[in-house]
């Protein structure tokens, strides 16, 4: 099914109001859904014989920053038997102070098992809570880590359990030591660039 056919299918099942916005001119077109209707739309897209989106490829959390005041969650769906793709998004208001509750989105982990860890990663890194998730806890950072590292206004804590967190000169003393040689130095005789035949 094409993007337009999938949009029409969702409108036919749930009515025009379920779609908050259509972005068909993007590099990857997407439908922005009403946040509270996300799970029921996804369940139908998964179960219906015309769509059968059996794979949730990715869940991505996006922080639009304090100035915009919004956050997004993008869902990349794929149907293996029908070979069609669909991106869905929901937009939620961003909490601007620590005393406000963090944004909340319904879970889809009961539809696709892959959503379990994807949603936990978004919660951990961006700070979006997934309502009714069976195990909503951090997955990458320690359980008592402060803040969400991929938020635009994240401030790294100076110490964690008495250990200094930021290590100045890390790149100079370990790991990455500047631009790769082939970008700044002389080309090597074993260059991967092929010459055009004459």
Which residues does residue 77 pair with via DSSP β-bridges, in sequence order?
56, 86
Residues 116 and 58: their CA atoms lie apart, in Å, by: 11
Question: CB within 8 A of 15, min separation 6: which ones?
Answer: none
pLDDT in tens, the chain (198 residues): 999 999 999 999 999 999 999 999 989 999 999 999 999 999 999 999 999 999 999 999 999 999 999 999 999 999 999 999 999 999 999 998 888 999 999 999 999 999 999 999 999 999 999 999 999 999 999 999 999 999 999 988 888 888 887 766 655 565 555 555 455 455 555 555 556 566
Fold of the domain built from segment(s) 3-152: Beta Polymerase; domain 2 (3.30.460)
> How much is the pTM?
0.82
Does residue 160 contact residue 142 with C-beta atoms inside 8 Å?
yes
pLDDT at position 164: 80
pLDDT at position 195: 61
CB burial of residue 149 (10 Å; 0-12, 13-18, 19+): middle
Secondary structure (3-state) at 88: strand
pLDDT at position 45: 97
Q: Where are the domains of the chain?
A: 3-152
Helix, strand, coil tally for the chain in percent (to 5): 25, 25, 50
Residues 53 and 85: their CA atoms lie apart, in Å, by: 8
Does residue 133 contact residue 124 with C-beta atoms inside 8 Å?
no
Of 19, 79, 84, which Cα lies nearest the Cα of 46? 79
CA angle 64–7–115, rounded 5-degree value:
55
Does residue 171 contact residue 177 with C-beta atoms inside 8 Å?
yes
Residues 108 and 41: their CA atoms lie apart, in Å, by: 10
């Amino acid at each position: 099914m094409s993007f337009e056919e999938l949009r029409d299918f969702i409108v036919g099942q749930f009515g025009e109001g379920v779609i908050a916005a259509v972005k068909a001119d993007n590099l990857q077109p997407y439908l922005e859904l009403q946040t509270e209707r996300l799970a029921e739309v996804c369940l139908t897209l998964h179960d219906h014989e015309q769509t059968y989106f059996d794979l949730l490829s990715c869940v991505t959390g996006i922080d639009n920053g304090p100035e915009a005041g919004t956050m997004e969650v993008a869902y990349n769906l794929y149907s293996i038997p029908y070979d069609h793709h669909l991106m869905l998004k929901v937009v939620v208001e961003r909490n601007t102070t620590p005393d406000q509750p963090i944004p909340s989105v319904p879970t889809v982990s009961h539809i696709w098992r892959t959503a379990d860890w994807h949603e936990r990663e978004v919660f951990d890194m961006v700070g979006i809570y997934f309502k009714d998730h069976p195990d909503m806890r951090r997955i990458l950072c320690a359980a008592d880590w402060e803040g969400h590292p991929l938020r635009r206004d994240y401030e790294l804590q100076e110490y964690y359990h008495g250990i200094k967190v930021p290590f100045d000169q890390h790149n100079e003393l370990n790991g990455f030591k500047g631009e790769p040689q082939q970008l700044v130095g002389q080309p090597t005789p074993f260059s991967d660039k092929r010459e055009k035949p004459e």
